[in-house]
Amino acid sequence: MTYNQGLIVQNALENEVSQASLELRKFPRTANGLTPDEVKFTPEFQESKAKFNAAFQSLRNFNASFTKNFKKEIRQTGKEKYSGIRN
């Protein structure tokens, strides 16, 4: 896998996590932002939570190997991105 291919995979995984997160946000919450227990025990919530957890774990595993294998490229991209910001 090349660096550019890795970026494409990373973006796809991030989109998957975002979609799963949006699905979780559809469930009701209390005033302090917590999900009530009666909602947590519904099959719909548990299915959505399982999808989110699986997508997030996939992203974590990918990022672990991606950053290890492409450390130099990531550092170079960051330098190019932020070179105009610093004095």
- List per-residue pLDDT tens for the chain, 87 residues long: 999 999 999 999 999 999 999 999 999 999 999 999 999 999 999 999 999 999 999 999 999 999 999 999 999 998 888 887 765
User: What is the C-alpha separation between 56 and 50, in angstroms, rounded?
Assistant: 10
Burial letters 18-39, b for 16+ CB under 10 A, else e: eebeebeeeeeeeeeeeeeeee
pTM over 0.75: yes
Cβ atoms of 47 and 15 closer than 8 Å: no
Phi and psi angles of residue 30, each rounded to the nearest 5 degrees, phi first: -80, 180
Question: What is the predicted pLDDT for the residue at 27?
Answer: 96
Structure tokens at 41: 């025990």
